[in-house]
Amino acid sequence: MRINEKKTGTQAIEELKKSQPALNAIVSFYEEPVQEAESGKLAGVPVVLKDNINTKGHVTTASSRILENYVPVYDATIVKKLKDAGAVIVAKASMDELGMGGTNKNALTGAVHNPYDTARISGGSSGGSAVVVASGIVPLSIGTDTGDSIRKPAAYNGIVGVKPTYGRISRYGIIPYASSLDHVGYFTTNVKDAALALEVLAGRDDHDMTSSYEPVGAYADDLNGDLNGKTIGLFKTVNDEVKDPVIKEAFDALCEKLKAAGAVLVEREMPKEYMELIAPVYKTIANAEATANHSNLDGIRFGRRVDGDSVEDVMTRSRTEGFSSYVRARFVIGSYSLFEENQDRLFRKAQKIRRLIVEAYAKMFEGVDGVLSIAAPTIAPLIEQSADLRFGPSSFAEEHMQLANFSGYPSITLPLGKKDGMPVAVNVTCRPFEEQMMFDLAEGIEETTGLSDQVKEG
């Protein structure tokens, strides 16, 4: 479904409800959707929000039991922007609890299912938001991306997923995960709609001091998919790590077509010792920041409260019952690295290594317009076989898109093809605030593959 296709909010809600038994993508509905404006870039467009986005007067749970009764008293900045553009908010989507996970299995309402095969995961943490676009019900949904949480679900569901430059979109009113890594982003079925969506969502917001003063472009109107003369870096370190022959063959075939379209392809590499540190550095920083950000979820100020004999007892009981064991384990890791005696050897060391990784990453962009890689090394795993590892090693072919969270660079995932009927994808990343170049390259790739508006209708 495209943004300019006509579907009322009521129709979208009916289709979402019909899809629930199979997909389980929605946490709550707007029973009486309201169009805020008769005109605007998104006039009448039904939109689904990830359920960590505050909406005034409407429950916002972040898929966590501790927030199951939380009703915000204000709208997030992006909600106001959507309404001002004429969008119709129709539902709130499931997510991994508090954004912590990559499977969308640990949501309070249960696992979200992939529309191409409901026995497989949607990916996470923005899995619900991805699925409602991939199933053709809405043309635009909002997610957040702390460590590929938009771009990996986009890959698994065969749609376009955008994480813009850090600070490009305000995070005011977003329930946080890790403040130095969090980005607001979104899903569409084609690059032009993705370009238009950023025009609506981007811009400086004085409520969010990390938001940028960089001007917002006319990304859709200026879109140009001509690849002739464009120089594209191929992320060899990642692509060589992908073992699936079908995915590798599809990527190689795309590269040949890009060269035929006039693009200049050059290989780019990063030291493997840095690539292997992506996962531990991410886990250390993200868990520490999450622990600090969610210390206010204590059963005292707001959210679920479990009675106890003292303030400390209420807090302990509320947090024990309010969080899943998976999230509690992350808080333990985060707290440990924030202990005064551990900060230098864990948290601050991770920050220093992050800087080294980002400096090496930046060198890959010298002399190229963008960097292209295979987004995910496999199709979406089966639900029963997938798990979010709390500890242990992981392949950097799985984790490499976290580099764009470390660096804040804009990054887009888009379809490459299918294997066994399941989507596979590529990722394009550009230098900070070069979203127009990112969209132009993605448009050229989309024209090459012919894979715009890919949806799996039920």
Q: Which residue has the tokens 């609890």?
A: 97
- DSSP label at residue 212: -
Q: Which residue has the tokens 């004085």?
A: 206
CA distances from 402 to 145, 151, 359 (A): 9, 10, 14
Distance CA 419, CA 92 (A): 30
CA 336 from centroid of its chain's CA atoms: 27
Distance CA 379, CA 383 (A): 12
Q: Which of 65, 150, 149 is nearest to 100 (CA)?
A: 149
Q: Which of 133, 120, 115, 279 is nearest to 197 (CA)?
A: 133
Distance CA 152, CA 163 (A): 11
Distance CA 268, CA 365 (A): 8
Distance CA 9, CA 22 (A): 21
Q: Strand pairing of 113-114 and 140-145?
A: unpaired
Bridge partner list, 222? none
Helix residue spans in 24-89 (DSSP H): 77-84
In three-state secondary structure terms, 166 is coil
**Amino acid present at 415:** P
Neighbours of 136 (CB within 10 A): 21
Residues annotated catalytic, as ranges: 50, 125, 149
Distance CA 427, CA 85 (A): 28
Q: Strand pairing of 264-268 and 183-188?
A: unpaired
Which strand ranges, in their side-by-side order, compose the sheet holding 370-374? 26-29, 88-93, 46-50, 140-145, 183-188, 160-163, 411-419, 422-429, 370-374, 231-235, 264-268
Neighbours of 46 (CB within 10 A): 29
- DSSP label at residue 99: G
